[in-house]
Amino acid sequence: MKASALLALGLAIALPVAAQQRQVISPPGTAVGLPFSPAVRVGNMVYLSGQIGNRPGTRELADTGITGQTRQALENVKALLAAGSGLALGARVEIECLATAAG
């Protein structure tokens, strides 16, 4: 009895989510040939892939070191949000940041 109730509850939650439309967001200037989408909208949520401090439309990092690259990464996030749904950083639920030293 409990197992069937849990299964019914799981289906009641999962089916509406699976049925939602998915919209891939690729704004003009998006680098081509990457194996992932820059952003995807599912229902009323927008999911962004990782962003780095590259100049829009290229795979070249901003020349200004860690400060400029961090600023550029956030600008890239803002551009993706605006392109996909007219959102701004204030509409975020969560942002994770990973900084590493290359070299």
**Domain hosting residue 74, numbered range:** 21-103
Confidence class for position 103, pLDDT limits 50, 70, 90: low
Task: Give the mean pLDDT of 33-40.
Answer: 80
Confidence class for position 8, pLDDT limits 50, 70, 90: low
User: Is position 10 within any domain?
Assistant: no
User: Is position 15 within any domain?
Assistant: no
User: Is position 5 within any domain?
Assistant: no
42-94 confidence digits (pLDDT tens): 887 888 888 888 888 777 888 878 889 889 988 888 888 888 678 887 777 77
Kindly tell me the burial class for residue 74, based on how many C-beta atoms sit within 10 Å of its own C-beta (0-12, 13-18, 19 or more): middle
Q: Please give the pLDDT value at position 15.
A: 59
User: Is position 12 within any domain?
Assistant: no
User: Is position 91 within any domain?
Assistant: yes
7-11, 25-29, 48-52, 58-62: the lowest-pLDDT one: 7-11
Q: Which residues contact 95 (CB under 8 A, 6 or more apart)?
A: 77
Q: Please give the pLDDT value at position 7.
A: 67
Report the alpha-carbon distance of residue 83 to residue 68 in Å, rounded.
Answer: 22
